[in-house]
Structure 1
Amino acid sequence: MITFTSVFVILFFIFVLQGIWLFIAELAGKDLDFFTILKFLSFYAPTIVPLVLPLSVLLASIMTFGSFAENYEFAAMKSSGISLQRAMKMLTITIGILAFVSFFFANNVIPDAQYKFINLRKTIVQQKPAMAIAEGQFNTIGTSNIKVDKKSGDNGEFLEGVTMHVKNSNMGLGANTIIKAKRGVLTSEDDSNYLQLELYDGYYYEDIHPKDYEERKRLPFAKSSFEKYVINIDLTKLNQAEIDDGNITSEKMLTVPELKVTLDSLQRNYNKDAISYSKNLVARNDNIFKKHSTTNTSSSKKNNENLISLFTTEEQKQIIEIAKSNVISTEFGISANKSDLENKSKNINNHWLAIHEKFVIAYSCLLMFFIGAPLGAIIRKGGLGLPIVFAVLIFITFHFINTFGRKVAQQDEIPPFLGAWMASILMTPFAIILTYRATNDIGIMINFDWITDPFKKLFNKITQNKDDNN
């Protein structure tokens, strides 16, 4: 227990330092008091427990059982009739309790910490509006990128040399509006979820997206100047940073029951939208056909293999242009609907992943124990040398597979269950094999003769040739 506590504290401190480095841009130079910074880090700290806890169990298990084997304490136990299974029994029960506590922590403490973390950041921005914007660099706020040359005032609310890139997600890639102003002022109210940015003496360029496809190729835009321009910035989308390889999103703040309720609502909305999109597309095409179709009773007796020949040359050009425009419009509508459904599907997958990850945290503690304990008994090395090497390699492998599975599941390429449990599924046979070999005192026997034999033969042949020449 002492070994585990020491390892956990050391690793926890290391990851907290990594968190400070991650948020240094938000904390440094913001005139924040020590208590606020302490609260900031304390709300962030629970989010690193899912990383620190399994690694601590793995390293402590390897160190403890490696020390036992190195000092021949297992040999003394076996001579007294105590098997490895019996020696691991109480520790297994302890790790099982720890796994249960870790699930409770992931399901209750971490969501609450995430909620407080977001609200603290919003409060800091409300009290110090200019914290959202750093001098001399672009700062992402919602769908906008803001850059200022200089800030002044008690809270840095007076801005000089403001440049904004505003992107409209419905208009394709790139910045749709570029705003430049000589100066600006940031204001906010304590009970408001918005920052107000007032810009003075500036102008903006705005991309124009005409309906005609040929006109779009010319890349038209509009330019206008202003004396005063007011922009409201939503604080709920302010400076969304990455924590633990995942964005700070709503599913991170929910417990399992809340996630299930939310998932039910999201799935119903997804199914409803999918049906609505398909019906609207069919109805739209039917309306277009009815609108542009021409009834010609005299032509019903003719062979209508080539209907367009029934119209004049001018009418044929009009029909082709209408058909081309309708195809482009339909393609754009399908693409937009597909993108919307894909985003909603990813959101559903993220909520499923959030549910599974709470259970994965608990299972990973048991998994790392049944990897670390038998591995320590086999390598027979304690201390902080070889055990750290094995622990880091194993945990990096586990974390890499877990991250890979999560990313693939988010893209809807594999089920969320498989994505969340991929690392555990792949590492469980390894734990079973190690436990079996350790309990049966088999050890790890890896034959590298197939690699070394060719070099030995080559060396012997060279040596023999030299002896013959002499």
Structure 2
Amino acid sequence: MKKLDKLILGSFLGPFLLTFIVVDFILLTVNMLKYFDEIFGKGLSFWIYMELIGYFVISISPMALPLAVLLSSLMTFGNLGEHFELTAIKSSGISLLRALRPIGVFVIVLSFAAYLSNNYLVPKVNLKTFGLLYDIRMKSPALDIKAGVFYSGIPGYSIKVNEKVGEYGLKDILIYNHAAGRQGNLDVTLADSGRMEPFFSENYMKLSLYHGKNYNEAKQPRGIKEKPVEFKRTTFDTNEIVFDLNNTFKLNRTAEDAWSTNRSIKNISEIKLGLDSIGTLVNEQRYKNYLEAEGVYPFFTRDRSFKPAADILDRKALDDTIRLHKMRRDKARVDSIHEVKNQAKKDTSTIIIDSPETKTLATRDGQNTAIEQPVALSTEIAASDSLFALPKSNKLENELPELDTNAVVVPKKKVVRAPRNTMLTDQERAQIDSLITKRNLNKSAITMALNNSRSLKNNFDVKKAQIDNYERDFRRFQISWYQKYTQALACFVMFMIGAPLGAIIKKGGLGMPVLISIIFFIVYYMITMTGEKWAKEGVVDPLFGTFFSIICLLPFGVFFIKQARKDARLFEPDFYIAAWKSITKRIKDLRPKAN
């Protein structure tokens, strides 16, 4: 590496690391503010919050990288231009593209690293982020009873204290007990004073009440004539209530398998599997629509059928083949397991050899042991046959009439009518029409047809809604797939915009570069959100919608590089004054001269 490359790359790495940390912190603050009310104030340890913040930092890094590259490259070449170092480089015969090469190589490597991070690291971190964030949301707030306010953080209890004395002392305590599914304020406890102290490693909380009363009323049954319910009033000098805080105020971690269907935690290969599964569901719904429509109109489909489209049939055949292959593979695996188990049983179990006289026990070592117990196989067989034999004194046999063997049985002839080839006469047609008219079959047929049509329409609407949901999920999976590439390419596009723009502005520091960087990043973010929204709603193809921001910003990068090579002064008034004069001069030259 030459000294020039070291100089330019060294002047870039410092601002890049600084801007990346600053941008990451800003995006972290924005994301944390969304969940501020849900994650803070629950008495969690410092390391839980640090773990969540670490997950957030890694998750938002792909979004912070393009802005960091844009700002740092603009600052680097702005500083070189401001201190006339860029002018010295050009005067020595080195072109601008050659000066951009070291940072360009670094940004290409950074883009590849960003792709690997998006595909492998970020999905795993998102899985842990979702699980930890959900557990924090589900955790109850920390035990913090305030004076004059009802506290319902402990399940089944509502506690009000009028005054707090010191750390654990309480005065004028009112407790409503709603445990065991009690509805209404049927169990009320009043006390003059008390103490609430944690014990056993803060897993339990003991509430000691002094000089109070307890009012307990049974639930009023429904009806008018029932007897009055039982009412109890108890006076106590000291009463202790123990609360179990293990399941209420401790953080319970959810298994990571609960988030296995979220597309944000999948890499490209897993997203492709999800796309294939969703495509199968969509094709099955479309295929069922044809079958249901054919079943609703039996008269129409008596001699014809609703044939699905060729692509639906091809996908159905492919899915059936894959499903059959999986079934055979699973069956072969199960059969092999059973075969191994049966072989093991044969090797370890004993074999019984039956003989008419004795039973001989044969073991694996070849030694036979005779058991002196006669076995009458013929008796057992006879007994088994007798189970299926009818008794001689069966009542059915006596009740059957005696058959006359001399009687002659004449078989009944089957009448077969030949098909009619002639048309119906007017009289026959009138008789059929009269039957339809008299029995009001026309209205019944119309009503049946309307009901079938409405049922078919409702089924189609339900299936259409299901297909729309599946297709929306399909597009979202595609967007998640393409985002892993676009977020990496955005780093290189931002470098193409920032580096030549800094060479044109020729101002470093945190003034003009920060302003221009924020403007371009906002434009990039708005275009990205717009394209992804179009893709989610099916307005444009997901590939085009995801790459829409790259397509829009890439011409700006090419334009700025072209202007930087010509040392154009885009941000100086003289440039636009000269351009306006050139335009007006051409307009005058195009006007016809007066004779």
CA distance in 2, matches of 1:115, 1:362: 21
Q: Which residue of 1 aligns with 2:391?
A: none
Match for residue 58 of structure 2 among 46, 64, 69: 46
Aligned to 2:559: 433
Alignment of 1:405 onto 2:535: no
Alignment match, 1:92 = 104
Q: 1-side partners of 2:457 and 2:183: how far apart?
A: 41
Distance 1:38 1:376 in 2: 37
Aligned residue type for 1:429 = P
Q: TM-score, normalised to structure 1's length? A: 0.66
1:24 corresponds to 2:36: yes
Residue in 2 that maps onto 1:424 = 550
Change (3 A) 1:418 1:30: same
Aligned-partner Cα distance in 2 for 1:337–1:258: 27
Query: What is the aligned residue count?
Result: 352
Distance in 2 (alpha carbons) for counterparts of 1:384 and 1:248: 43
The CA deviation string for residues 206-229 of structure 1, in whole angstroms up to 9 with x for no partner, is xxxxxxxxxxxxxxxxxxxx99xx
For 2:192, the equivalent position in structure 1 comes to none
Matched residues in 2 for 1:64 and 1:262: separation? 43
Change (3 A) 1:392 1:327: same
Q: Are the counterparts in 2 of residues 183 and 200 from structure 1 also a CA contact under 8 Å? A: no
Residue identity in the other structure for 2:295: A
| Residue in structure 2 matched with residue 326 of structure 1 by the alignment | 452
Q: CA deviation at 1:362?
A: 1.1
Aligned to 1:62: 74
Counterpart among 465, 471, 481 of residue 345 in structure 1 = 471
* Distance change >3 Å, CA 301–CA 74, structure 1 → 2: farther
1:96 Cα deviation after fit: 0.7
Name the counterpart of 1:390: 516
Distance 1:323 1:152 in 2: 59
Read off the aligned partner of 2:152 and give its amino acid letter: S
Superposed, which structure 2 residues align to 1:185-196 within 5 Å?
none
Is 2:275 aligned against 1:263? yes
Contact kept? 1:55, 1:368, Cα under 8 Å: yes
Per-residue CA deviations over 1:309-363 (Å, capped at 9, x if unaligned) read 9545955554444444333322221111111001111111111111111111111
The answer to whether 1:14 aligns with 2:14 is: no
C-alpha distance after superposition, 1:29-50 (max 9, x if no partner): 3232222222222222222112
| 336-345 vs 436-445, which moves further | 436-445
Matched with 1:363 is 489
Show the counterpart of 1:111: 123
Describe the SS at the equivalent of 1:274.
Answer: helix
Q: What's the secondary structure of 1:391's corresponding residue?
A: helix
Inter-CA distance 25–63: structure 2 relative to 1 (3 Å threshold): same
Mapped contact 1:270–1:341 kept (Cα < 8 A): yes
Q: Is the 1:59–1:391 contact (alpha carbons within 8 Å) kept by the matching residues of 2?
A: yes
Contact kept? 1:308, 1:316, Cα under 8 Å: no
The corresponding residue for 2:504 is 378
The residue that corresponds to 1:101 in the other structure is 113
Q: State the alpha-carbon separation in 1 of the partners of residues 14 and 273 from structure 2.
A: 41
Which of 65-74 and 96-105 deviates more?
Answer: 65-74
**Structure 1 vs Structure 2 CA RMSD:** 3.8
Does residue 121 (structure 1) correspond to residue 133 (structure 2)? The answer is yes
Match of 1:152, as an amino acid? S
Counterparts of 1:445-456 in structure 2, within 5 Å, are: 445-446=575-576, 449=580
Matched, 1:81 2:93: yes
- The one-letter code of the counterpart of 1:62 is L
Match of 2:170? none
Question: Offset at 1:277?
Answer: 2.6
| Aligned-residue offset at 1:17 | 1.1
Maintained 8 Å contact 2:294/2:301 = no
Pick the structure with more helix per residue: 1
Q: 1:113 to 1:301 in 2, by over 3 A?
A: farther
Q: Which moved more, 1:258-267 or 1:324-333?
A: 324-333
C-alpha distance in structure 2 between counterparts of 1:327 and 1:199, whole Å: 51
Paired residues of 1:151 and 1:157 also in contact (CA < 8 A): no
Q: Tell me, in whole angstroms, the C-alpha distance in 2 between the residues paired with 1:378 and 1:440.
A: 10
How far apart, in 1, do the equivalents of 2:269 and 2:37 lie? 36
Alpha-carbon offset, residue 283 of structure 1: 1.9
Counterpart of 1:442? 568
Matches within 5 A, 1:169-188: none
Shift of 1:122: 4.0
8 Å contact kept, 1:110–1:253: yes
Structure 1 position 402, deviation (Å): 0.8
Residue pair 2:271, 2:481 contacting (<8 A) in 1 also: yes
Distance in 1 separating the partners of 2:426 and 2:41 = 81
Q: Which residue identity does 1:368 align to in structure 2?
A: M
Task: Provide closer, same or farther for how the CA distance between residues 333 and 366 of structure 1 changes in structure 2, counting only shifts above 3 A.
Answer: same
CA contact (8 A) 2:296 2:452 kept: no
Describe the shift of the 1:61–1:125 C-alpha distance in structure 2 as closer, same or farther (beyond 3 A). closer
Structure 1 residues 433 and 153: CA distance shift in structure 2, 3 A: closer
Q: Distance in 2 between matches of 1:298 and 1:431?
A: 86
Q: Alpha-carbon deviation of 1:152?
A: 2.1
Matched-pair contact (CA < 8 Å) for 2:39–2:136:
no
Aligned to 1:277: 289
The answer as to whether partners of 1:374 and 1:435 remain within 8 angstroms in 2 is: yes
CA distance in structure 1 between the aligned counterparts of 2:179 and 2:292, rounded to whole angstroms = 45
Contact 2:58 2:122 survives alignment (8 Å)? yes
Q: Rg larger in 1 or in 2? A: 2
Q: When the two structures are superposed, what TM-score results if normalisation uses the length of structure 2? A: 0.53
CA distance in 1, matches of 2:122, 2:22: 20
User: 2-side partners of 1:107 and 1:407: how far apart?
Assistant: 22
* Separation of aligned partners in 1, 2:61 and 2:475: 23
Percent of residue pairs identical:
26
Structure 2 counterpart of 1:69, one-letter code: G
Q: Could you tell me how far apart the structure 1 residues matched to 2:100 and 2:494 are? A: 14
In structure 2, C-alpha distance between the alignment counterparts of 1:46 and 1:308, rounded to whole Å: 82
Aligned to 1:152: 152
Distance of 2:438 and 2:61 partners within structure 1: 75
Partner of 1:335: 461
CA contact (8 A) 1:46 1:110 kept: yes
Q: Distance in 2 between matches of 1:430 and 1:277?
A: 49
- After superposition, the Cα gap between the structure-2 partners of 1:286 and 1:417, relative to the gap in structure 1 and judged at 3 Å, is same
